[in-house]
Every structure is written in structure tokens, then in C-alpha cells.
Structure 1
Amino acid sequence: MGCGQSSSAAAPRPAGGAAAAVQQEPKYAGPPVTYNIVNIDVPHESQTGLLFSPEMAFNTLTGSVYLPALTNMYDLGFRMSTFNVSPGSMTASGFVSLKLESKLRTQGIFHQVTEEEKGKWKLCMEKSSLPQQVFGTGLLKIGGTSSTQPIHIFQTIDRISNEGGRLVSIEVTGGSFTGASAAPVSATMGMGTQPSMMLYGHSPSTLLCVDIFYEMPTTQGGEKYMYQIVPAQMSAVLKTLTGAIGGSWTVTFDWMNIVGPYLSQGWKLVEVFLDQNNKSFSDRAFMASKITSEVGAMFIFEKPLSKANDNTPVYEAKMVEYRAPGKMKMAGIGKTTIEVNANWDSVIAQEGQNGWDLVRILQTPATIFKQSLSMTPEFGWVHYIYFQRKIMQAPAEQQSTDEPPAPVLPPQEQETN
């Protein structure tokens, strides 16, 4: 656990850039949100001894690489909205052995605060982990399941809230798996949630590394906050034809039926985290196949303890679908490079002008390929970007009859005599 000290490294840049198509809305009565984004690219490498080796390791990112630059933003009058690890580029090469070289983009996205709010919070980070079991079966009906135990994440959120802190963001920043005989592997390190290997076997020893970002007050005696953690599931179906590149994706994620009831009872959405409880399977038929991925997620809500019994709606939320453009380049035999330019800065900046505060950029399994005979085919990686803002004019006498979904409560330690 640590709260970083300020540093002058990695000067921020305003969010903006090329124009993006954002749905027009009525003018918002509240103040706009001004964003600043800190990007730090981190080289990364992993390798297996053999293509079907029982072991592969992804080194976790070291927080010291980016934490000083992120905490520096608080001295400049900003607070973090979210932390994101996304692919900048990835090169895979080799036949007998597989070598992956990637450049990961760590991105802290901040919003400007008022003079009154400036200096009241400091940014901290704690390393956590997700122990994971991975198992895959099948030859004709290929698939696999991964299940995680986010107990330490629950316990950390509970402890932070008891100490007066507030959750900001949770992100997977590394991991390793051993003992696999070509198990289905959930791609991590910001490279997506879809399985990247679909054979049979199992991986009994898997550990994903997680960074938990939170804020602590700079003075004592302030408000404390409580949290609800609600499980959800995203379903993504890819239909392909034999010999075709890409395919037709259908993504189903009924997020509004989870978020809506909580917002209507005064909660604030603070995080949407893919918890790596995933399942995937493939149905193959003549000249066609259908791959289904079921991706686990957690919606995390926050409420001041002083408002525990106050169900007045405070926030409204929205989701914007965004395709991060990328290119695939095949250079020589056995070497492929993927480059992604996830330039969502302009979308975030434009939404901020209408008062929308960023919650999370969530990568879906969907990858849209453009049919091309070129050696550098283009594709788009589909993301869901979640925003929320304060309700300026609450509906008169609105009574919600919807019951929120059941949350997942942090486990309580048993007392021992």
C-alpha cells in the first residue's frame, strides 16, 4: 500500500484532438468537466519455452513507473476519474517458442476540481491479486472456463472505506499461469477479455496482478463512504464463415438494469471491473462456427454514510460505444504486429463539455475486422465508455419501485477463540 509523492515528471496534456461523433444532447445546466490525460507507455515482454509449454509469465507493471506522475496531478488541481491499461502495440513471433513483445499504455484520466475542493485528497495505490482457476475441454466443441476469487479486492475496499478513503479504479496490470497444457487463456494486460488460445487442458496455478487506486483525505474527521458490489455478465457472440477474416459480433450487456435501480436510490457508480470470471465455447458446423464468450464484471457503487437512509437520486449515467482503431501487420514468416491507436480523448472531452464525468473505459471481446487483401488489415476494438453526472433537476415525487440487484458483500473474517 502506498500514497505516492508529487513529481514533476510526465506533464499532462489536455484531452482533445481529432473530432469525434458524439450524440447531441440538450444543454446541461451544471458545470462542464475539464479533463487532463497522463499517458505513460511501458515496454513489456513475455515468452514460452515451447509453443505448447506448460508455463508462461507476464510480469506485473511496477507502480513506481506511473504513480509519481499520477499523484502530481493532485497538486495541479485534478482528481483521477479512472486508470486504464490498453495495448499500444504487440508483436508475436516464433514457431517452436512464442515470444510476445508489447508496448502497454498506462493512462490516468483526471478531471479538474474547484478551488474549494483542491488539496483535500491524495491519490494512493495498493497491489492486489486475483487467484484464478482455468479449465478447458473439448475437441469438436472447444471452450474453457476461468474463475477468480476477488476476496482481497473486497477486503481492501472494506478497509479503505473504514479508514475514510474512497475507491477510484481497479485495473489488471499483469499475471502468470503455470501447469497448463494449452489451456484457454484470458488475455490480460489490457489486451482484451476474449480467449486468445482455445485448446484443451487446465491451468491449476494462475495469478492475476491488480492495482487498486483510491483516495485518502488530507484532513481528519471528514465523511466516510459505503460500497455495494454487484455482479454482472457480458455475453459476446462471434459468427464466422470458414476462410473469412473477422466475423459478425453481437455483444449483450444489460448494464442499465443494474445501474438504474442503484442510481434511483441515491448511489453513485464508481467502477465497472472485469473480474475475469469468464466462460467461452465454440460450436463448429460445416463452413461456419459460432464462438460465445461470457465475461464476468462487477459494478461498484458508493454512497456517503450520512446518506445511508436517503434514497433521493443524485446521479444519472450513460454509455458510449467506441471503436479503438488498429492495424495488423505481418512482417516476415512467423511474425505479426498489432498496433492500436485508442484515441478516445476527443470523445471524453466532448462529453465533459456537457457535464459528463468519466467512470470507466471497458473493453469488450468484440474486434471488428475490415475485409482487405492488404498485408496491413484494419480492425476496431469495441469499448464501452461509461459516464455519469449529477442530476440538476430531479423528477418531482419520483418513487422507484425497482429493487436493486443483490450485491456481493465482502467476506467477514471468522472470530477465533
Structure 2
Amino acid sequence: MGCGQSSSGAAPRPVGGAAVAGPQEPKYAGPPVTYNIVNIEVPHEAQTGLIFSPQTEFKTLTGTVYLPALTNMYGLGFRMSTFNVSPGSMTASGFVSFKVESKLKTQGIFHQVPEEERGKWALNMVKTCIPQQVFGTGLLQIGGTVTSQPIHILQTIEKISCDGGRLIGIEVTGGSFSGASAAPVSATMGMGTQPSMMLYGHSPNTLLCADIFYEMPTSPSGEKYIYQIVPAKMTAILKTLTGAIGGSWTVTLDWVNIIGPYLAQGWRLVEIFLDQNNKSFSDNAFMATKITSEVGAMFIFEKPASKLNDNTPVYEAKMVEYKAPGKMRMAGIGKTTIDVTPNWDSVIAQQGQNGWEVVRILQTPATVFKQSLSMSPEFGWLHYIYFQRKIIQAAPEPEKSEEPPAPVMPPQEQETA
């Protein structure tokens, strides 16, 4: 996807794989990445009428809350690597009516640039809406399907490319949900695929809001960038005896075979965006023993237009699993509070010491509970943190030069008297 030309959406011939994190990583020959992380907590609210009301409203976050603090970092010699919205706390209450109050943690993760690169890029943001349809699988059936149409996102990436900009990332920041599904609530708060009872039918008037972050050059550079978007699917399976809290999770996302072929041909990973095309289903309506979620994803790659036909690998990537700790408290009748403490800043900083730049913190549906029968169960919410860095070949050791052997003089015949 690029200005005036588009490259094929099919994956190129696999010529190598992405680097996977190992227990002991050799020292990186390139410079470390110095991070500066901007955290801003934002109050957030969802409200319905009756529990089976046809409308559920979520207030979308406005960029004026966090954008000034983010753009200010560019004047300090940093560029944004990714933007992330994660739950800090949530309180859900009500039986007949349902209300969710929460504090979301918006987080801009920045990396320091060399002195000669300061002031060359400016941060921009545009808001987009993703039309959705929510379809229930049947009367009081656990599960359902959400289909999304991220057309405006694709159009925006095309425009950014034509204008000479560079995409940074896309983050969901709110929306308006129609239908009697509790699934949007659990997805928004990161509590994974919890069983929800949906009335049979669909809701045609659903919008999800997202922010698209990108950079524009402060002076014309002449270089433009081409983008490739590769669809993928993350599958999460929850096995449980009751379909309630607890159980064992299995999450599958074949990221190595998606990222590896592109990096091997000179592309750079820019973003992994969960496009909100979701499907969930169970083996039983009530006493479910297995609940499966299929979550759509978009892997987005970037390449300078001038290097489009150059297949020299430039970057390598890896993924680190991280479980964000959390705790659930049940206070009073019909009132539940959930606290999540991401605390991945130190993990990111540690990876930066070996040259790894964070690309995306990807939320999965998996929440692993401890002491699930307790009134205050603790859990770990599984995230995938993706990194990449430039490939730097270690300088070859100079060959040892051996001194040439001393010439051997032929024996001299002694002169006879």
C-alpha cells in the first residue's frame, strides 16, 4: 500500500525467520535504546439501561487529554515507538441496570534519537471510527460474532503514505455498542473472553473509535514509504468446568511465520492491530467446558519506496510474553472491582539495553487466575510484547598475517686456495 502504487498483499517467499527471544542473548553490537514513557490515567465510563438493553454507550477518549504531553516529547529529542491504552481499574455494578466505571492508563512509549535526527519529525493523530455488527449465536447462547470494516484505517494509511508521513500505530479508544452482549465490556477491560448471554439477532448501529498516530517530516525529504497489511488470526481457548472464573488458556498466534518472511526481504514491522473481527463460541450453552475466541489482527509493514526492490534484510524481531498482575474484589451485592497493574516499563527498558525497540504491546484474551474461589482472586493477564532492532553484523576479526619465511640462501662453496 503506497502512494500511486501498491505492492502485493501476498506474503513473499520465506527466506528466513524472525529472531526469537532466548534465555541468554549475545551482546548487541549496535547502540542501546533509551526510553521515556509518558503515563496518563483517564476516567472512563460505560452505562446501559436494562441488562438486556439494546444500547450500551462507551465514552471515547479525546486526544486533547494526552496529545499535548506526547507531542512535547519530540521537542526533547524523542520519537514515539507505540501508544497503548490499558485498564488500570474497573468497577462494575448493578443487576437490572449495568454501569462500569474505570480508569484507563494511556501510555506513550518514546525512544531517544541521535542529536542529528532531532526536530526532523512531528507527531500527528487522526481519529477514526470502525463500523461493526454484533451477531448473537442464539437464544441465551454463550458467544457471538463481531464483524468490523476498518476501511477508513486503510484509507488513512494510504493518505499518510502519499503525504510522505510514517505510520506509528493504531489504538482503540472507545465507542458505542449496540446489542445485548456483555462481550464488549469484557474486551474493553481486558478481562478476556468471559461467558456472556446474548439475545439472538444482530445490531447494525455499532461504532468503535480508534486513534491513528503518525509522523510527518518537518521539512520535505523526498522519501515516501510503502505499506503492506497482512491479515492474521489469534485463537484463544479457555477450558473450564463451569465456564466461570478460572480455567486453563491456550493462545495461538503464528507471528514468526508472518513477520519472518517480510523482515527477510527488507520490510520493517510497524504495528500489530487487533481489527475487532471477533468470534466466540462454546461447546455448551451453560455448562461449557471449552470456550473458543478467534480475534482478527492486522500485521502492518513499512518499506522506503526507494528500497522497494531491495530485499536485503534490515531488521530482526522477537516477542516476549508478559503477564500483567491484577486482582478482583467483590464488594457488596452486585459490585465488582478489578485492578490491573501492567508494570512492564522495566521489561521494556531492559530489552532496550540490548538494542530492542518496542513495536506493540498486544493484549490477549487470556487471564490466568490464582485462588479463583477466593473473594479477592489474583490473576495474570497475558500480553505479547513485540520488539525489533536493526541487524548489525559484527565486524570480522582481522586475519592474522604471518611473516613470510626468511629466504634460504644456497650453500656457498668455499674458495679453494
TM-score normalised by L of structure 1: 0.86
Q: SS in structure 2 opposite 1:29?
A: coil
User: How far off its partner does 1:222 sit?
Assistant: 3.4
Q: What does the per-residue CA deviation read over 1:275-331, in whole Å, with 9 as the maximum and x for residues that have no partner?
A: 001110011299651000000000000000110100000000000000000000011
Which residue is equivalent to 2:357?
357
Q: What does the per-residue CA deviation read over 1:360-379, in whole Å, with 9 as the maximum and x for residues that have no partner?
A: 00000101000254321100
Which residue is equivalent to 2:333?
333
Q: What does the per-residue CA deviation read over 1:77-123, in whole Å, with 9 as the maximum and x for residues that have no partner?
A: 10000000000000000111001000000000000100011110000
Q: SS in structure 1 opposite 2:37?
A: strand
Q: State the Cα RMSD in Å.
A: 2.2
Distance, in Å, in 1 between the alignment partners of 2:24 and 2:216 is: 36
Which residue is equivalent to 2:262?
262
Distance, in Å, in 1 between the alignment partners of 2:197 and 2:25 is: 43
User: How far off its partner does 1:263 sit?
Assistant: 0.4
Matches within 5 A, 1:25-44: 25-44=25-44
Structure 1 residues 221 and 243 mapped into 2: Cα distance closer, same or farther (>3 Å)?
Answer: closer
Distance, in Å, in 1 between the alignment partners of 2:339 and 2:182 is: 26
Matches within 5 A, 1:12-23: 23=23
Structure 1 residues 196 and 273 mapped into 2: Cα distance closer, same or farther (>3 Å)?
Answer: farther
Distance, in Å, in 2 between the alignment partners of 1:90 and 1:346 is: 24
Contact preservation (8 Å) 1:22, 1:351: no
Q: SS in structure 2 opposite 1:74?
A: helix
Which residue is equivalent to 1:107?
107
% of aligned pairs identical? 77
Counterpart residue identity of residue 235, structure 1 = T
Q: SS in structure 2 opposite 1:284?
A: coil
User: How far off its partner does 1:129 sit?
Assistant: 1.0
May I ask how many residue pairs the two structures share in their alignment? 375
1:169 aligns with 2:169: yes
1:59 aligns with 2:59: yes
Q: SS in structure 2 opposite 1:159?
A: helix
Which residue is equivalent to 1:382?
382
Structure 1 residues 389 and 84 mapped into 2: Cα distance closer, same or farther (>3 Å)?
Answer: same
Distance, in Å, in 1 between the alignment partners of 2:328 and 2:260 is: 39
Contact preservation (8 Å) 2:195, 2:244: no
Which residue is equivalent to 1:24?
24
Contact preservation (8 Å) 1:129, 1:208: yes
Contact preservation (8 Å) 1:229, 1:298: yes
Which residue is equivalent to 2:215?
215
Distance, in Å, in 2 between the alignment partners of 1:116 and 1:77 is: 10
Contact preservation (8 Å) 2:187, 2:193: no
Q: SS in structure 2 opposite 1:209?
A: strand
Q: What does the per-residue CA deviation read over 1:11-45, in whole Å, with 9 as the maximum and x for residues that have no partner?
A: xxxxxxxxxx9943100000000111000000011
Contact preservation (8 Å) 2:143, 2:195: no
1:197 aligns with 2:196: yes
Contact preservation (8 Å) 1:134, 1:184: no
Contact preservation (8 Å) 1:267, 1:301: yes
Distance, in Å, in 1 between the alignment partners of 2:142 and 2:288 is: 14
Distance, in Å, in 1 between the alignment partners of 2:45 and 2:363 is: 22
Contact preservation (8 Å) 1:324, 1:342: yes
* Structure 2 runs not aligned, ≥5 long: 1-20, 397-417
Contact preservation (8 Å) 1:172, 1:190: no
Contact preservation (8 Å) 1:185, 1:195: no
Matches within 5 A, 1:79-228: 79-139=79-139, 142-178=142-178, 180-182=179-181, 184-185=183-184, 187-189=186-188, 191=190, 194=193, 197-201=196-200, 202-228=202-228
1:342 aligns with 2:366: no
Distance, in Å, in 2 between the alignment partners of 1:193 and 1:342 is: 15
Distance, in Å, in 1 between the alignment partners of 2:182 and 2:285 is: 23
Structure 1 residues 93 and 349 mapped into 2: Cα distance closer, same or farther (>3 Å)?
Answer: same
Larger Rg belongs to: 2
Counterpart residue identity of residue 210, structure 2 = V
Q: What does the per-residue CA deviation read over 1:393-413, in whole Å, with 9 as the maximum and x for residues that have no partner?
A: 29x9xxxxxxxxxxxxxxxxx
Q: SS in structure 1 opposite 2:146?
A: strand
Contact preservation (8 Å) 1:138, 1:199: yes
Contact preservation (8 Å) 1:186, 1:195: no
Contact preservation (8 Å) 1:142, 1:200: no
* Structure 1 runs not aligned, ≥5 long: 1-20, 397-417
TM-score normalised by L of structure 2: 0.86
